Every structure is written in C-alpha cells, then in structure tokens.
Amino acid sequence: MENHDKLHSDMTGWRRHLHRHPEFGFEEQKTAAFVAEKLRGFGLEVAEGVGGTGVVGTLKRGTSNRAIALRADMDALRITEAGKSDWASATPGTMHACGHDGHTAMLLGAARMLAEEGGFDGTIRFLFQPAEEWGRGALAMLEDGLMSRFPFDEVYGLHNMPGLPVGHLETRPGAIMSAEDNFEITLRGKGGHSSRPQWGREVMVPACALVLDLQTIVSRRLNPTQTGVVSVTELLTDGTRNALPGTARILGDARSFDAGVSATIEAEMRRIAEGIGVLHGIEATVSYSREFVPLINDPELTAAAFEAASGVSESAVGDCEPMTGSEDFARFLDYVPGTFVFIGNGEGSAPLHHPEFDFNDAALLHGARVHVAIARGRLSPTG
C-alpha cells in the first residue's frame, strides 16, 4: 500500500474537529461548510444545500461516461457525551455517538486521494448526507433531485462496527440491514386514587400486560425461520406515586427484513392492543409507521466491491450475518444498485449510540482506502 501518513494525520484532525462540533440532523450547517471547503480545496466541483444540508462533490477523470457514488453521513445524536478526550463534544446534549464524524473524514480522505492520484476513468459523486439517524436525509437529497442533478449508476457506503478489529471488513449479498418500523400505542381510561382502583379504569396494569403480550408476536406469530424484533422502549403515563394513570403511551420499534413480516407485526400489534382494550374496558389506539426500509446489497456489485476492498483490508468476510440495525442508505438502492460494508472500529470500542463511544482514528486510513479501492475497481481505466 502507498504511504499516506500525512493524509492519515489530516483525517485525524478533521475527524476530531467534527467530533468536537457535532450537529443534529438537518442542522449540519457548519459541518456541511467544512466539508464543502475541503472538497473545493481538493479541486472538486461542489454543490451545497442538497436536501437541506447535504453536500455533493464531483470528480471527473478520463473519458468514460460511467459514474458511481460514494456516500457518508454527517449527523450526530441527541446524547450527552461521557468521554473526556480533548476533542469531546463542545455542544451539550449532542455527540457523534455513531461515528459519522469518522465516516465524513474517511470520505474526505478518499476524495483527496482520488483527486491527487487518479487511477480511475469516469465520474465519482461524493455524497455527504444529512439526517441519517432520522431516516430522512437520503430521502431529502433524492427529493431534491439528486439523481437528475448528479446522476450515477451505482452507490457504495460503509459504516464502522465496534467489536471488529481495525482493518477488518465485512459484507454480504442480499439483506444486510433491517427495516425499522416505529409504533406508539395509546391507552385511555379513567385514573384515580391508588387506594380506590375500583372507581376508575386505570391503564397501568393493561399497559404492563400489553408490553408482555407484544413479545408473543415474534415468538408465536412469526415463522421461526423469519427474522423479526419487537422492542418496547418507553412506557409513559400521567400517573404519580399515589395516583393511578388514566393515560399511557407505549412506544418502540420493530425490525424485519421482509415486507410480509412487517405487515404481520403491525396486524398482530393492532389485534393485541384491541384485545387488551376490550379486556380492561379502556380505549386502545395504535400508530404505526415505516421509517427505514431493508438494506439489500446487490449480489454482483457486492462481489466486485468485496474483491476490491479485500485488497486493502487485513482480513475480510464476504458472507457476514445480517444485522437488525437500520440505515437509510437503503433509500438510494431504490434508484440504483449498490452495496454497503462494515469496517472494524476495534475490539475494545464502546457500542454505537453509547455516551462513551468514540470513532477509532486508527480506522480512518483503512476506510478511505476501501472507498478508493471500490471506486478504482468500478471505474477501472482498463475497462
């Protein structure tokens, strides 16, 4: 491999700057300006404000009319950082707890490498996307005319993965990340004094029963060969220590790789909630939305990307297990084929979305090289 010590040092500085100055989805004004400035400095054509705060850089070499896209996400999370590094978040209540600062720095590094060294024939679009955590950023860029304004034939993305060694890469053809459905179930009854439950129709006991009964959707209503997850993440009431609640809200999400499974989960959830309402004499309503679609890697392009990326990775697995996390990179795949890969963030890394998470700077050069290898492999000057 080429020696890129200076690039690695620069990427580390970029990454730490971004980590110290996180911005939430669709608020990435300073992040986008930083990205645009760097891309222009590398000699790329740059468009800002795509889908709100998205940035698209374009780099052309040779005479081929083929075009591919490489994508990174830029947004942070509403989490208070627990880390004490010199580059810890300076924005209270917001931090890069998913490594998007690293993803942005790696794609900037790849852009500089490809601008300085070439090695491809065609057009590369560098997509810096807002609001991935919302599941809205890719859609916003697409709705803003991304495909007509900056056309490309294929798209590639990557994500850091805690627990995998630095330099390690994993991917798979077909479904690699799940859909995410969000739900909110509202129970309405009649609260009252905790010493006189018979005078009302309190909702705490029905809510607790409902939380447990929802777990039977996966264990008893799905085919055991199908993958599904139903997770209740919040139970909110209007009660207090000595007052039984009259209203309860149960919120959570469901994961699946198949539209039929998603439909079954929703139908069973509505049936169970309705039954709980009848049983306890209360009103039960269900709000159910589909926020992320399954991420389905194109088999042919996954094989090609894996072959290219394996050459710059210390180890690689091409048939990893699918994961039930979600990614709105999947929205791009409704328009063009592509693939998504995971790279190691270190075996000692804190989990994603954890207040002590920090992107591993040792992984920056590996990620940049993966982007570059895929781009050169897909836009080979030799055809």
Write out the binding residues for Mn(2+). Answer: 98, 100, 133, 159, 353
CB of 120 closer than 8 Å to CB of 376: yes
Contact 307, 381 (CB under 8 A): no
Q: How far apart are CA 257 and CA 294, in angstroms?
A: 6
Residue 265 DSSP symbol: H
Contacts of 67 (CB under 8 A, 6+ apart): 122, 123, 124, 125, 151, 152, 153
The per-residue DSSP string of 87-117 comes to T--SSTT-B--SSHHHHHHHHHHHHHHHHHH
Strand duo 283-292 + 192-193: pairing: unpaired
**What type of residue is 103?**
H
- What's the CA dihedral at 273, 275, 276, 282 to 10 degrees? 90
* Spatial contact of 315 and 168, defined as CB atoms under 8 Å apart: yes
Report the C-alpha gap between 275 and 216 in whole angstroms.
14
Binding region: 98, 100, 133, 159, 353
Token representation of residue 103:
């993803």
Please state, in angstroms and as integers, the Cα–Cα distance from residue 346 to each residue in 10, 23, 323, 365, following that order.
21, 25, 18, 14
End-to-end Cα distance, the chain: 22
Reference 107, options 59, 65, 158; nearest CA is 158
Angstrom distance (rounded) from CA 296 to CA 307: 18
| Contacts for 41 with CB less than 8 Å, ≥ 6 apart | none
As given in the structure block, the two tokens for residue 227 are 């993958």
- From its phi and psi, is residue 369 left (phi > 0), alpha (psi between -120 and 50) or beta? alpha
Residue that the structure tokens 């799905």 belong to: 222
